[in-house]
Chain A
């Protein structure tokens, strides 16, 4: 039977419920991990943009550790390593993914936020303070509104990467899209329809985000340059 045969697609559509479930599973991890990553990114990003050397250092260590160690190692340490130390530290695959992906992309988002704040020229802060704004006020009214425009394009990029990286869970047996595609197709000996279906589902999730990010980036370029 040809790998593209109609029957294979029929088999796929008969079992589409499994893929729908896997899609929701991937979506749920992505949303939970994104909330964690955004929280960490905002905390550590503003720490590294501050003047305090200690806070800067802490944020640097976090960012370098997470950016330079493979995500999969973090997964296996949490999923297989923690329970050896103490059985109460056993996390489900779902929460392992939320924790690991959240921490991992928290480091990237922290860098995005830091460079967004740093991209606003220092003169803006000085000008604001010279006009009698407090530090808080100048941040809130003058620096952040400008920084956010700079932050949105790389941030959407990170969200896309986060969604893609949740697939690492497939390697520890979580029933996400990739895992489902692989197990369904090896059961049915029918790889192509399953991979195409899963690819399309990821694409639907990621492409609009990536396009939105690029649009904002182009609009920023046209409107003014900081």
Chain B
């Protein structure tokens, strides 16, 4: 079979639609995981930064344990022990470990704001809440938003684990299902190539955007 005939069999509208459905699920799960993780990550970061020793230690333990054990283990733990359905299990497991990663990013952002800024705010009679919302956060967000956005790339890449672990049909999973129909080297590599290209384009755009953002903000600060 010539390469163009092989391509005709691979790049059918039905196949492409199937891959796009997988892609939508990948993006949807990643988006939910990032949103939830930013929320829980902020709480963890504030806990670990705070004065209350108990919360500090608790957040520290959570962050260190989660960050020093592979994601794959957390996916199995969530799926096998809590017995959730695959989409909630996927979102939950990604939230579990991404929130630990984001907590450290957010903590770095908050700690990156010089202490003098807080003191200056206090000397001007701002309340603690005002200092946090008007002075610290706007500066901290500039420092941490690019890193939070680039964390998106990590999440999108790692959701590819979800097909082999919990049979969730995201982008990689859809490609694996289609792969079952093809056995010629050309066709198999066309499919691998297509999926790799889709991941690449999306992640490249996100990482470029995050890099631009951090550059433009780095210049405007100070």
Stretch at the interface among B33-41, B44-52, B135-143, B199-207: B199-207
Stretch at the interface among A16-24, A49-57, A117-125, A164-172: A164-172
- C-alpha spacing A17/B176, complex, angstroms: 34
- C-alpha spacing A76/B200, complex, angstroms: 16
Kindly state whether residue A226 has any CB partner on chain B within 8 Å.
no
Kindly state whether residue A160 has any CB partner on chain B within 8 Å.
yes
- C-alpha spacing A182/B73, complex, angstroms: 9
Interface string of B51-80 (1 = CB under 8 A from A): 000000000000011011111110011001
Residue among B70, B81, B160 making CB contact with A202, cutoff 8 Å: B70
B189/A81 in contact, CB under 8 A: yes
A170/B196 in contact, CB under 8 A: no
Interface string of B135-165 (1 = CB under 8 A from A): 0000000000000000001001110110011
Chain A contacts for B77, CB-based, 8 A: 191, 195
Q: A73-B199, A84-B188 are in contact. Are A182 and B76 (CB under 8 A)?
A: yes
CB distance from B191 to the nearest CB of A (A): 10
- 8 Å CB interface, A164-218 against B: 164-165, 167-168, 170-171, 178, 181-182, 185, 191-192, 195, 198-199, 202-203, 205-207, 210
Chain A contacts for B160, CB-based, 8 A: 70-73
- 8 Å CB interface, B65-99 against A: 65, 67-73, 76-77, 80-81
A164/B71 in contact, CB under 8 A: yes
Residue among B69, B189, B196 making CB contact with A203, cutoff 8 Å: B69
Residue among B72, B156, B184 making CB contact with A167, cutoff 8 Å: B72
Stretch at the interface among A39-47, A60-68, A128-136, A139-147: A60-68
Kindly state whether residue A85 has any CB partner on chain B within 8 Å.
yes
12 additional contacts (CB under 8 A) given A64-B200, A68-B204: A3-B81, A71-B157, A73-B172, A80-B188, A81-B188, A81-B189, A164-B69, A178-B72, A191-B77, A195-B77, A203-B65, A203-B68
Q: Which 5 A-B pairs have the closest CB atoms?
A: A68-B203, A206-B68, A167-B70, A70-B160, A164-B70
